[in-house]
């Protein structure tokens, strides 16, 4: 049996150190999302729940519950479930590329809630109002309370919890919190439903004889 008290202390210390590192490494006046590497929590060996496609794909995605098999169809699954409650606000074409969505009702994950969802090529996150310290404290408290009812499946080599400051347009002063999926060759932004938002291809200039 694991020592629950020791695990809480170690997890709390790790998250606090991550939060301090993110704050210290963020250059003044530059977006943290582009300038600093995301802060990831250490692997947590939690029981992996059974996949229940259709329950709430967005909540599952935020809390690292999406399996390798389910990942390719994730965005379509979210749209099917939230047909009237998942509106794309804008796409940032500059690096790092990301899509911002608005929900009619806030969603809760990792002890925080928000109605702003940010999709990056391999991350599903929510933008939470507040300081990095405050959001991290809520996250830490939620993880401490989750021993009997885990918020997430195992965080392993394909799933990582991420939390860092966001200063992309429209997200200034917010914190991005969610899951990074380390599954190669699949981008969540490469979705046919979003094709009209991509910049038009520039035709090649004809070669002069």
pLDDT tens sequence across 130-139: 999 999 999 9
C-alpha pair distances (Å), 72 with each of 57, 137, 185: 12, 32, 10
Residues 111-126: pLDDT tens digits?
999 999 999 999 999 9
* Residue 198 placed within a domain: no
Per-residue pLDDT tens digits for 56-89: 999 999 999 999 999 999 999 999 999 888 888 8
64 domain-assigned: yes
pLDDT value of residue 87: 85
Examine residue 17 and state whether it is found in any structural domain, yes or no: yes
- Mention every residue, 6+ apart, whose C-beta is less than 8 A from residue 15: 41, 136, 139, 140, 143
As for how many domains the chain has, the answer is 1
Range of the domain at 33: 4-192
The reply to whether 200 falls in a domain is no
Q: Does 80 map to a domain?
A: yes
In a domain, 197, yes or no: no
38 located within any domain = yes
Classified as helix, coil or strand, 147 is coil
Other beta carbons within 10 angstroms of residue 202's beta carbon come to: 6
**130 part of a folded domain:** yes
């Amino acid at each position: 049996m694991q020592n629950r008290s020791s695990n809480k202390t170690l997890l709390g210390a790790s998250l606090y150190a991550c939060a301090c590192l993110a704050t210290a490494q963020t250059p003044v006046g530059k977006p943290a999302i582009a300038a600093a590497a995301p802060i990831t929590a250490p692997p947590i060996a939690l029981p992996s729940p059974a996949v229940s496609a259709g329950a709430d794909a967005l909540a599952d995605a935020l809390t690292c519950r999406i399996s390798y098999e389910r990942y390719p169809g994730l965005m379509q699954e979210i749209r099917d479930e939230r047909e009237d409650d998942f509106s794309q606000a804008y796409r940032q074409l500059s690096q790092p590329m990301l899509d911002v969505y608005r929900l009619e009702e806030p969603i809760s994950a990792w002890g925080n809630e928000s109605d702003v969802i940010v999709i990056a090529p391999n991350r599903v996150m929510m933008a939470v109002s507040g300081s990095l310290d405050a959001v991290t404290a809520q996250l830490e408290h939620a993880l401490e309370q989750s021993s009997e009812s885990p918020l997430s499946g195992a965080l392993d080599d394909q799933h990582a919890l991420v939390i860092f400051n966001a200063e992309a347009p429209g997200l200034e002063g917010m914190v991005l919190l969610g899951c990074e999926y380390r599954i190669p060759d699949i981008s969540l932004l490469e979705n046919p439903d979003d094709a009209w938002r991509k910049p038009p291809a520039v035709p090649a200039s004809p070669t002069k004889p």
